[in-house]
Amino acid sequence: MREENLSLRAKYNITALFYDILDYPWERVYRKWRPLLLGDLRGKILEAGVGTGRNFQHYHESIELTGVDLSDVMLRKAAKKARKAHCKIELIHDDASVMQHVESNQYDWVISTFLCCVMPDEFQPMALEQFSRALKPGGKFRLLEMIYSKDKNIRKRQDFFAPFVEKVYGARFDRNTLQYIEESTDLEITSKRFLKDDVYLLIEGIKKG
């Protein structure tokens, strides 16, 4: 684990105790998206930033899922949900920008929901390199992130919530995830679209070669 991420880990080890309660207002929307984001996936899946495991119940029973998270307390919460999931799940305590416990060229998909908006910008290219390393040639990725809206009214609400979101979750709306993927030599974007307003950005792509 990178030393610079220790503070983020400490934050999430505290937030994990209340995460599902704190996130409930947003989860009322997210839970409608999860089946659509995850239900069509097959093969070996790497989910980076599994959190408390809210995605688990939406994976097809045939897949083999490896879940990675920076927070050991989050993983303990996720382990309880993993026991109720339909698919095989292995949970790994690891830093997504390092992933020293994740094998190379093994996965058909890399999935993350709201990981990169939490991850500091300087670590995102490193995480993308790890995603590429973990994917098989031709393997795919699907990332859901939040960004600042260009709509003045929505932006005003985001500005209001931004201090809370950063303090509790470490998340920001101004991460440059899309730019880093576009600059990657190993990953290629095949689709990008918004799930709601111009805030919730779904980025899909493939590992080149």
Kindly report, residue by residue over 17-73, the tens digit of the pLDDT.
677 777 778 888 999 999 999 999 999 999 999 999 999 999 999 999 999 999 999
Q: pLDDT value at position 57?
A: 95
Q: For tokens 């111009």, what's the residue?
A: 198
Q: What angle do CA 137, 177, 72 make, to 5 degrees?
A: 80
- Two tokens, residue 112: 């993350």
Put simply, whether the predicted model's pTM sits higher than 0.85 gets the answer: yes
Host H or E run for residue 89 = strand 88-93
State yes or no: pLDDT of 173 exceeds 90: yes
Q: pLDDT value at position 53?
A: 95
**Structure letter (DSSP) for residue 43:** S
Number of separate domains in the chain: 1
**Structure letter (DSSP) for residue 197:** T
Domain enclosing residue 19, as ranges: 3-207
Q: pLDDT value at position 169?
A: 84
Host H or E run for residue 112 = strand 107-113
CATH number at residue 56: 3.40.50.150
Structure confidence by residue, pLDDT tens digits, 100-157 = 999 999 999 999 999 999 888 999 999 999 999 999 999 999 999 999 999 999 999 9
Q: pLDDT value at position 8?
A: 64
Q: pLDDT value at position 4?
A: 58
